[in-house]
Structure 1
Amino acid sequence: MKGNKTSIVAIIEHRVKEQVAGKIVKKIWPSWMWCHNYSTDGKGRLWVLWDPNEIHFDMVECKEQYIHGTVLAHTMRKKFNFTAIYGLHTIEKRKSLWTDLLSLQHNVQGPWICMGDYNAVLALEDRIMGNPVVQADIRDFNQFLVGAAMTEMRTVGRDYTWTNGHVMSRIDRAIVNSDWMQQYPQLEASVLDPYFSDHSHLCVKFDDPPIKPKPFKFFNHLAQHPEFLNHVKSAWGTQTATRLAPVWNKLKQVKWALKSLNNTEFAGVDTRVKSARQQLKDMQEKMRSMNTPSALFGAEKELRRQLEKWSTIEESVYKQKSRVQWLKLGDSNTAFFHASIKNRVSQNMIRSLVSANGNVINTEKGIEDEIIGFYRTLLSSTAKTLPAINLAVMKRGRILDRGQQLRLIAYEKR
């Protein structure tokens, strides 16, 4: 805990009796505050402890399989909902967990993370060397995620979180809602080494993502602009000074032309949508009286058209960024697309790497150097054999004759 600078922690399945729990907590964390769920069944499988100098935790609900509350981080000025989970060992006993969490979801506002030991697998590949996973094992968990509109947080580290020395399974998880993905897309859950436990610990670190310049992306709405083809033709017709890569240079000119068009005509789409909505609202407030001037009806119609235009563009941008293909435009899916974008960015982000010598690299510069060094070594070394390619088999297929080879070489020289 000290090595990870922990401010709040949930301890699960500790097997400590209520009579001695207070003494143990006071001895190990003398200045920390804590809560428990001994009152639910007497066994008290869950503790939540926090450093009051860093965190304020307000317990909202306590049941046999979870403790739920709100977290306010003083120094980081962040507020979110936190639920510590301990799922019981049978499918039937866990049904109340899914039901209670779904009911809880209706009252949760803002970012929410449910973290702990669910004692349930989510996919067929989440258990190895034991009884094969069947649909009954994963059905309730998956139905809960769909019903609560939640998703698993991106994890790094060990692939499996529990083992008895023979069977390995993934039963400890961090599950988050769309508000969490939108506010904290850069965060991930690290699956740490178990040390003396049969469970691996989960750790979420709060930090701010590095700010980098964004690369140019072509959005489909650009092609709808009346000056789109003129910009492309003008840029493509630009004479280039070099003959080495004329097509590449022309494409680069087109990219800059479209980037300029996008910045000029479509910059700040979110702001334009909000502005158009507010102007339409103000206009309709003026039209509440019976003696509304006829000129206002034309102005309102134009504002409606502008709002529809920019809302469609906004939704188109989010849909393209999210890469969700099974939803259509025009159904006001902007919030869903935005959450999908955040989830995809989080899943694709590299926050840490394990080097060849086993060291964990967390810094941006260290990750960059490790990746470059790996591929430099890989691509600069000569392979004596090609185990993935059978040359004898390849030679049985179609190959270029000498005439085709010469024509190809002549084309390259031109």
Structure 2
Amino acid sequence: MGKLKEISSRLLQLDPMIIVLIETRVKKSKATNIRKKLRFKGMYLDNYVDHDNGRIWLCWDNNRIDLKFVHSSSQLVHCGVYGLDGIFRYWLTAIYALNKLENRRSLWKDIVTLHSHQQGPWCLIGDYNNVTKAQDRIGGKMVTEAEYTDFSDMLEQTGLAKMDSQGDYFTWSNKHVEGTIYSRIDRVMANVSWFQNNLDVNLHIMPPNVSDHALLWLQHRDRELEENVLRQKAKIDWLKLGDGNNSFFYATVKSRANAKGMNMLRKIDGTVCATQEDIENMVLEFYGELMGKKSTNLKHIDANAMRRGG
């Protein structure tokens, strides 16, 4: 009961339009009663049809937004997000991956399949139960390349990129006094279109409190920071060529900006730009090399190199 009260209190304080709850461990027969105690007045989607414990709950305030179910499995719930005017906003996928690597491979395949059957902005949020590099875990078993190869391949096939965050780096801990393990397995991923439409959104990694997972909170920046984003955007608007690869570069750079601007960019050759002047020169140099060329002759941007940047 204490955990339920804590979750309800945090939800009421944050007042989100959309909530993703994972690892609920609530039987379907008790779901309605538990949801009433959460005191969140809205609508729900879940995946009880795919798993007895309904591992994923999607909740939304239907006075502000609308969600329409598309697909579910034991590891995801996929839906479309619409305004109250009925206009499509973006695709949203709530993720809670299984513990075993072979089970997660089926999740990566599902994500690739979703990508091949839809167009438009797309955001995925949740617990992927998967690290992406050695630095994503402290304690426990040493990270091996085999742990994240399939995950990386999925990102390459779908064009999805991980969203940078503010707050704690690690999102999960076993909370043991001895043999403590910390890992970064909860994250937000999105495609170029979603990043371009949400340049004013920050991802905060908040304290876990009663859970062993941190709370992920997507928040729009305040007015001052929003104006700062618009000023940064205006600096290079005149250089936009409209090519898809340029859009990827632009969206990736902007998604890595924080309230004070970009901290660091890494060139494809591995050179790091850390000062504001060097960063601005790198962006201008990149677009300057493309000016005057036809879009059919533009070289493909190395997506992996861009993800390693910053």
Normalising by the smaller structure, the TM-score range is 0.7 to 0.9
Q: CA deviation at 1:144?
A: 0.6
Report the alpha carbon displacement of residue 346 of structure 1 after superposing the two structures with TM.
2.2
Is the contact made by 1:186 and 1:349 (CA closer than 8 Å) also made in structure 2? no
RMSD: 2.6
Query: Is 2:216 the counterpart of 1:199?
Result: no
Q: Determine if the alignment matches structure 1 residue 143 to structure 2 residue 157.
A: no
Specify the alignment match of 2:133 in structure 1: 123
Kindly tell me: are residues 337 and 168 of structure 1, through their superposed partners in 2, closer, same or farther at Cα, counting changes over 3 Å?
same
Equivalent position of 2:254 in the other structure? 345
Which residue of 1 is the match for residue 38 of structure 2?
Answer: 28
Task: Give the SS at the match of 1:210.
Answer: helix
Determine if the alignment matches structure 1 residue 72 to structure 2 residue 72: no
Structure with bigger strand share is: 2
C-alpha separation in 2, matches of 1:73 and 1:201 = 25
Residue 36 of structure 1 and its aligned partner are, at CA, apart by: 1.0
Tell me the amino acid that sits aligned with residue 341 of structure 1: Y
Matched, 1:168 2:185: no
The separation in 2 between residues aligned to 1:138 and 1:60, in whole angstroms, is 28
Q: Distance in 1 between matches of 2:92 and 2:122?
A: 6
Matched residue, 2:108: 98
What does 1:177-192 align with in structure 2 at a 5 Å threshold? 177-192=191-206
1:329-377 CA distance string (max 9 Å, x none): xxxxx2111221121122132279xxxxxxxxxxxxxxxxxxxxxxxxx
Distance 1:100 1:215 in 2: 35
Q: 1:351 to 1:66 in 2, by over 3 A?
A: farther
Which residue identity does 1:183 align to in structure 2? N
Structure 1 residue 187: deviation in Å?
Answer: 1.7
CA 1:141–1:30 in 2, change beyond 3 Å: closer, same or farther?
closer
Residue 111 in structure 1 maps to residue 20 in structure 2: no
Q: Residue 49 of structure 2 aligns to a residue in which SS?
A: helix
| Distance of 1:202 and 1:351 partners within structure 2 | 21
Q: In the TM superposition, what is the alpha-carbon distance from 1:24 to its structure 2 partner?
A: 1.1
Number of equivalent positions: 243
Aligned counterparts of 2:97 and 2:13: Cα–Cα separation in 1: 28
Distance change >3 Å, CA 215–CA 141, structure 1 → 2? closer
CA distance in 2, matches of 1:18, 1:192: 29
Cα distance in 2 for partners of 1:346, 1:89 equals 29
CA distance in 2, matches of 1:64, 1:25: 20
Q: Is the 8 A contact 2:66 2:82 kept in 1?
A: yes
Kindly provide the CA deviation profile for residues 150-172 of structure 1, in whole angstroms up to 9, marking residues without a partner as x. 10012111110000121000000
Name the structure 1 match of 2:227: 210
2-structure distance, mates of 1:73, 1:154: 26
Report the Cα distance in structure 1 between the residues aligned to 2:165 and 2:233, rounded to whole angstroms.
Answer: 26
Answer 1 or 2: which has greater helix percent. 1
Q: Indicate conservation of the 8 Å contact 2:18/2:59, yes or no.
A: yes
- Quote the Cα distance in structure 2 between the aligned partners of 1:215 and 1:70: 28
Report SS of the residue matched to 1:21.
Answer: helix
CA 133–52 in structure 1, closer or farther in 2 if over 3 Å, else same: same
CA contact (8 A) 1:113 1:180 kept: yes
How many angstroms apart in 2 are the aligned matches of 1:73 and 1:347?
27
Shift of 1:17: 1.0
Deviation at 1:103, TM superposition (A): 0.3
Residue 198 of structure 2 aligns with an amino acid whose one-letter code is Y
Give the aligned residue type for 2:191. N
Structure 2 matches for 1:250-329, cutoff 5 A?
314=241
Partner of 1:16: 26
TM-score normalised by length of structure 2: 0.72
| Counterpart Cα distance in 1 of 2:95 and 2:231 | 39
On the 8 A contact 1:185/1:343 being kept in 2, the answer is no
User: In 2, distance between residues paired with 1:109 and 1:37?
Assistant: 24
* Alignment gaps of 5+ in structure 2: 1-10, 262-310
Q: Take 1:5 and 1:134, find their aligned partners in 2: how far apart are those partners?
A: 40
The Cα shift of 1:110 comes to 1.4
**What's 1:232 paired with?**
none
Give the share of equivalent positions with the same residue, in percent.
31
Q: Find the residue that maps to 1:348 and give its secondary structure.
A: coil
Asked if 2 retains the 8 angstrom alpha-carbon contact of 1:60 and 1:68, the reply is yes
- Aligned partner of 2:17 in structure 1 is 7
Q: Which has the larger radius of gyration?
A: 1
Q: Structure 1 residues 214, 156: closer, same or farther in 2, change over 3 A?
A: closer
